[in-house]
Structure 1
Amino acid sequence: MIVPSAFETVGHIAHLNLRDEHLPYKKLIAKVVLDKNKPKIRTVVNKIDAIHSDYRTMQLEVLAGNKSLVTTVVENGLKFTVDLATVYWNSRLAMERLRLVSGFTHDDVVCDVFCGVGPITISAAKIVKRVYANDLNPSAIEYLERNSVLNRLERKIKIFNMDGRRFISLIFASEKALSITQVVMNLPNDAAEYLDAFRGIYSNKMRGDVRNLPTIHVYGFSKADDPEFDFHERIRITLREVEVDVEMRRVRLVAPGKWMLCAKFTLPQSRNPNA
């Protein structure tokens, strides 16, 4: 048996994802990981179930070390406090988050539909005019508020705690709609389904005033032989558009045959939400 040596690091926590054949030796493996990586690593956990909750939390078993799952992560010069028992965090997406926000400018206004504890929201707030950030998970919102203050960016972030569709409808029904230039939808398992909230969203607005339609950045998974085509079609069908010009990129292979993708496109100005 090959003993696993790779793990995700979240602050002081080593996050393992052990295979079934490793489980009888999980405590021993955790002790080896802890001993080899002290003092940086003080807690070793293993994911014991897939992410099922609407709050994107995962069940973790502490195998060695400190029992606390509250930790501080430093990413791209910013600090984030997280509690892995109640919120979602993925350190493997650090470079993708950096790539995304690097495309924003000082003139942008960002709408982060599924913000979590704020890795994209807070990174964007350092650059852009304003960020409207939302998450369904109240614990994530609590940590987002803390992290906004921790990084001294709270004045540039307006926070909401509601369902993603309701948030999109609320923001785009307000006067804020015409100022929004970037929309981030980083909930790969479900985000594409929420695009239906954008159907006809400008149809009852000042049609002549909708000059700059926002750019949408939506993440998704695909197991298809042609993942780009598959994800593109799902976006087009959800928006009920005949054609959507999409810039597609593969983010990472999350499992054999399963890609995480990011689709970028300008929101089509549909006139009829029932079209």
Structure 2
Amino acid sequence: MNVLLPPTVVRGMKIFDINKFTKLISVPAIEVDTQNIASASKILKNQLLKFTNFKSIRDSGSNNYKRVFLLNPLKVRSFDDLNLPFASPEHFSHTDVKLTYDNWKHDEILRAILPESSMLTSYSAIGSIVHVNLKPELLEYKNVIGQVLKDKIKGCKSVVNKTDNINNIFRNFEFEVLSGSSDLQTSFKENKCIFELDFSEVYWNPRLCTEHERILEKLNAGDLLYDVFAGIGPFSIPASKRGCTVLANDLNPNCCKWLNVNKKLNRIKDDRLTIINKDGSRFIIEDLKAHLILYSKTLTNDNDNKVHVTMNLPAIGIEFVKYFNNLFEWDEISDSFLPILHIYTFVKTNESYETGLHLVMAEHNIKEEDAQEIIRVRNVAPNKEMIRITLQTTKEMLCKSSVKRKTEEQENENPKKTK
């Protein structure tokens, strides 16, 4: 049994009791003269007794010229385990040390409380809010879990548990506050930008930070970004600050509210970021189309800027690709400014990732060879992955009557002979 772990009596605790974490243990100790403290610290650094909020080197109560080094009993059993040339066996002893709730980290405490077969494996921190997604078998421990996380995670104000799937048009979910304040407004930083939100009103997943960075690395000043499902702006806000022109859309009016807040917080000008509140299909058909037609007419073909479209609504986002089919007339859009689509979707991996990917692509008439890039973003659940498909659109895809126009052009180049 590891004497350094929390007391076994806390196993199965469902009502939080801080007193049950108090524990007295016997540990080895060595007394060292003050002039040798630096040397002893270097020699004993891997053998010290280490806990949160705990001093391993303490004053000697009987001698102001000595310090007591408290040692790990799992690593030191006798004086012979030490390599201190300036100490002798009479300076070695054992002493009792009192440990409390304050001395263990949240994961150590939760491992001691929860059943070994069902541990809390992860959580997400969004500013001052900690978000967990508890398995059914952990729900009876939810109040204790909430209390421990709130106490132990620095800056935590509230702990919330997701109680339902994201199954509404606004992409937020039902939740309950396990511990702390029910005021879920918070702020945080990502990609050198400040974001503010109310977690009860909008969706945010900090685990997508790396993917946000991947997209931002593809953007250059002067590029155009259409953010079809913008949320509170993880793509739109930093892209605007990089010098892109951005049209950001979201159906959830609360997302647009916080997107406007974040626009002001990051001092982004109106001509750099336009915020729109409508369904993604209407945004594509109306706003994206009109803006891109105007954009194509104002720039020359030798312009190096690119057009990007982010579609981060993985549950249904890939279904919106169809709205790009025959969106333009042939002469309304320049060959130089054909949009690059960044499409997010889910892949079921019951059989294999490759099989799941093939089924998704086939269902939406996307050829794998036409994809510039396919990225596995993250595991969402057992047998389910979130991916990104980056697709360069073509005029044949975007424009009406492209086949007819090609035929007419060929006939003009090779007129039929007449009698």
Q: Normalized against structure 2, the TM-score is what?
A: 0.61
Superposed CA deviations along residues 155-185 of structure 1, whole A, max 9, x for unmatched, are 3101100000000011243143445710000
Match of 2:196 among 78, 81, 89: 81
Higher relative CO (Cα under 8 Å, sequence separation at least 6) belongs to 1
Question: In structure 2, how many angstroms separate the alpha carbons of the residues matched to 1:242 and 1:81?
Answer: 38
Match of 2:360 among 231, 234, 238: 231
Match of 1:264 among 384, 390, 398: 390
Question: In structure 2, how many angstroms separate the alpha carbons of the residues matched to 1:233 and 1:106?
Answer: 35
2:308 matched to which residue of 1? 182
Shift of the 220–242 alpha-carbon distance from structure 1 to 2, 3 Å rule, reads closer
Cα pair 1:109 1:128 within 8 Å, conserved: no
The 5-angstrom pairing of residues 8-27 of structure 1 reads: 8-27=124-143
Question: In structure 2, how many angstroms separate the alpha carbons of the residues matched to 1:159 and 1:273?
Answer: 32
The 5-angstrom pairing of residues 59-208 of structure 1 reads: 59-155=174-270, 156-177=272-293, 178-179=295-296, 181-202=307-328, 204-206=329-331
Q: Which has the larger radius of gyration?
A: 2
Shift of the 175–62 alpha-carbon distance from structure 1 to 2, 3 Å rule, reads closer
Superposed CA deviations along residues 64-114 of structure 1, whole A, max 9, x for unmatched, are 011111111211221111111111100000111011111111131100000
Cα pair 2:226 2:288 within 8 Å, conserved: no
Shift of the 66–57 alpha-carbon distance from structure 1 to 2, 3 Å rule, reads same
- The alignment-based identity, stated in percent, is 34
1:119 partner SS: coil
Q: Which deviates more from structure 2 when the two are superposed, residues 171-180 or residues 11-20?
A: 171-180
2:28 matched to which residue of 1? none
1:89 partner SS: coil
Question: In structure 2, how many angstroms separate the alpha carbons of the residues matched to 1:134 and 1:165?
Answer: 11
Q: Which deviates more from structure 2 when the two are superposed, residues 217-226 or residues 184-193?
A: 217-226
Aligned residue type for 1:231:
V
Aligned residue type for 2:202:
V
Question: In structure 2, how many angstroms separate the alpha carbons of the residues matched to 1:153 and 1:170?
Answer: 24
Aligned residue type for 2:148:
V
Shift of the 57–274 alpha-carbon distance from structure 1 to 2, 3 Å rule, reads farther
**Structure 2 gap ranges (5+):** 1-114, 297-305, 404-419
2:52 matched to which residue of 1? none
Q: Normalized against structure 1, the TM-score is what?
A: 0.91
2:370 partner SS: coil
1:211 matched to which residue of 2? 336
Match of 2:380 among 237, 254, 265: 254
Deviation, 1:36, is 1.3
Equivalences, count: 270
Aligned residue type for 2:365:
R
Deviation, 1:122, is 0.3
Deviation, 1:32, is 1.0
Cα pair 1:201 1:273 within 8 Å, conserved: no
